[in-house]
Amino acid sequence: MTDIEIIKSLKKSNKPVYVYGNMNTARVVYRYLVSNGIKPIAFLVDAFAYQGEKIIEGIPIICIDDIEGIDGSNLVIGFDNVEKTKALLSLSKYLVYNIWHVVTPCCFVDWSNDFYNKHKFELTEFRNLLADEKSKAVFDALINAYNGGEILPLLSIADPIQYFNELTFSPNTQNDVFIDCGAFDGDSIKKYVDFTGGKYKKIFAMEPLAENVKELRKNTKNIRDVHIIEYGAWSCDTLLSFNADTSASYVSETGELQVKVTSIDSIVKNEDVSFIKMDIEGSEYEGLLGAKNTIERCSPKLAICVYHKSDDLIQIPTLIKSFKGADIYNFYLRHHSNRLSETVLYAIPNKNNKYEK
């Protein structure tokens, strides 16, 4: 059922509407409902989450175990993690609601049917570019979810192993140089080391936030040849305003934090780069612009997140294709979570491509 159909059903119902959850996604869901003429009467939370604030968005937070007599009420899920939601609901003794899951508020991108209709040709071009049927299935399921459809088909074909998988595998990595853009606390670096069996030449870790860099240094102190760059990946050297979030900071004109950014080209110089991973919260396009010379010179494997902006699926592959020598790349699309995030575009050069379609 699409979001539009859910809104119509809720409007027809004579039963109250609750939002399940009380964190950021639940608040976004609440605002989405209000903007569509539906006024929830409360946020419902499980007993372990019933602490702290008791009123948000002007309505109460109520422990789900403390209410009775609401058979048939409408419960709109306020989590973007579908598996977590199902697990929490399985713990509840109140499974008497009409349970709804709206997709639009849970999208990381500002998506609309108008955007899809306007760019249908370019999106179809991207789909045709994809090298295997699984990628096309991921694309179809992703577009359907973004357009307000069912999210479960997308989750059913999600791959749990992100970045370091059969698409990016190489049998000989002892001379490889890996660039981790958005290194966070070193989580991906640890996985890369395991993926290569510790056989690599060098790792560049780009992370602009001081709080993250502190953890990054601690978590990689026993890993050899990690070069930490306290800059964000961008197309040039400059200062940018960021909205600060430890795990998901992003560029914003209204951001309260000033961070330094630089280009991959200026960092690696003549290094023979083998693999670039980017999860930089919507700055991937600029980051790739700043890696143009490196990509054209080295043809590294690319694992680029494409779920932060609505036009990522159009602009990012178009940019990569515009680089000199990009005709050797095969493009794959994979989804790596049980929510509407962690969709990754893989560009794999023919010389490295061992993947069996």
234 & 149 share domain = yes
Instruction: Report pLDDT for 243.
Output: 62
Across residues 131-135, what is the average pLDDT? 97
Instruction: Report pLDDT for 105.
Output: 81
Across residues 115-131, what is the average pLDDT? 95
189 & 48 share domain = no
pTM: 0.84
Q: CB neighbours (10 Å) of residue 279?
A: 24
143 & 255 share domain = yes
- 335: in domain: yes
Q: Write out the residue range of the structural domain in which residue 14 sits.
A: 3-106
Closest CA to 31 of 10, 6, 57: 57
Residue bearing tokens 């494997």? 301
Distance between CA atoms of residues 80 and 337, nearest Å: 10
Side-by-side strand order, sheet with 17-20: 55-56, 59-63, 42-45, 17-20, 74-77, 98-100
- 111: in domain: no
101 & 128 share domain = no
Residue 283 has pLDDT above 90, yes or no: yes
292 & 216 share domain = yes
37 & 169 share domain = no
Amino acid at 207: E
* Length, in residues, of the chain: 357
> Could you tell me the two tokens for 205?
């870790």
288 & 164 share domain = yes
170 & 289 share domain = yes
68 & 127 share domain = no
What CATH number did the domain enclosing 253 receive?
3.40.50.150
- 112: in domain: no
- 114: in domain: no
Amino acid at 50: Y
Q: What is the pLDDT of residues 141-165, one digit of tens each?
A: 999 888 876 788 898 999 999 999 9
Q: What is the pLDDT of residues 332-342, one digit of tens each?
A: 999 999 888 89
Examine the fold and report which residue of 106, 136, 155 is the final residue of a domain before the chain moves on.
106
- Region of residue 234 (left: phi > 0; alpha: psi -120 to 50; beta: else): beta
Structurally, the chain folds into a number of domains equal to: 2
169 & 230 share domain = yes
- 263: in domain: yes
Examine the fold and report which residue of 49, 84, 106 is the final residue of a domain before the chain moves on.
106
Q: What is the pLDDT of residues 302-337, one digit of tens each?
A: 999 999 998 999 999 999 999 999 999 999 999 999
- Percent of the chain topping pLDDT 70: 90
What CATH number did the domain enclosing 81 receive?
3.40.50
Q: Which residues pair with 44 in a beta bridge?
A: 20, 62
Examine the fold and report which residue of 106, 133, 159 is the final residue of a domain before the chain moves on.
106
Q: CB neighbours (10 Å) of residue 211?
A: 12
Q: How many helices (H) and strands (E) does the chain have?
A: 13, 17
31 & 159 share domain = no
Q: Which of 65-79, 114-128, 137-151, 307-321 has the lowest mean pLDDT?
A: 65-79
Instruction: Report pLDDT for 246.
Output: 45
94 & 125 share domain = no
Residue bearing tokens 């919507």? 282
- 342: in domain: yes
Instruction: Report pLDDT for 351.
Output: 66
- 357: in domain: no
